[in-house]
Amino acid sequence: MSDVATLKSATTNKWWVQIRGRAFGPYSIEQMATFLTEGRVRPTTLVSANGKSDWTEARRVMALRGLRKPANANDAEEAANVFVHAEIFSGSWMAFMAALESMGFVCDLGPGLWLVRTRFTSGIIRNALSQTLERGDRFVVIDATRDRLAWFNLGPEVDVRINKVWNGPLRVEAANEQR
């Protein structure tokens, strides 16, 4: 990236992120701070001010250096019960388990299902575990304490369905049937 491009991108309000050759964005500087805090954007992640050219590593962009969203003090101290379900088809099992066990106390509940007692958020867990996996592997993280959900590699159709159910209204007839 040229010095002119570096200067231009240092003052931009919108950012694009390149993951596995695909561009995502635009994101605000506040969103980028969150992504950096959660580990979704790493120092070596390629970013651009226009999403088409001038891709450079995040650590080389002055506006992104040291940018972190302050962690919520309550979240950092509160322990949470988190369920993780994974389907790992690659040879990444050992790396995945090492990352999972580094998150807190892990209880094996069955094939591909664990309960974790942790201080980390579902987003941070997702980002840490996703770094260990390969194409075709997938998992979901359900934070039962904080009512949060995160997932990896389930596909765009599943993303839409999850959002529709997780954030959607209750069906009136289902609620009435249970009374």
What residue ranges do the domains of the chain occupy?
Answer: 3-64, 73-166
Q: What is the mean pLDDT of the chain?
A: 80
10's enclosing H/E stretch is: helix 3-10
Task: Give the mean pLDDT of 131-145.
Answer: 89
Which among 44, 54, 69 is positioned nearest to 12, based on CA atoms?
54
Provide Rg for the chain, Cα atoms: 19
10 band by pLDDT with thresholds 50, 70 and 90 = very low
Sheet holding 138-143, edge to edge: 104-110, 113-118, 80-87, 138-143, 148-152
Q: What is the CATH number of domain 73-166?
A: 3.30.70
pTM above 0.85, yes or no: no
**Structure confidence by residue, pLDDT tens digits, 32-91:** 877 877 777 877 889 998 888 889 888 888 777 666 555 554 444 589 999 999 999 988
Q: What is the CATH number of domain 3-64?
A: 3.30.1490
> b/e per residue, 97-127, with b = 16+ CB within 10 A?
bebbeebbebeeeeeeebbbebebbbbbbbb
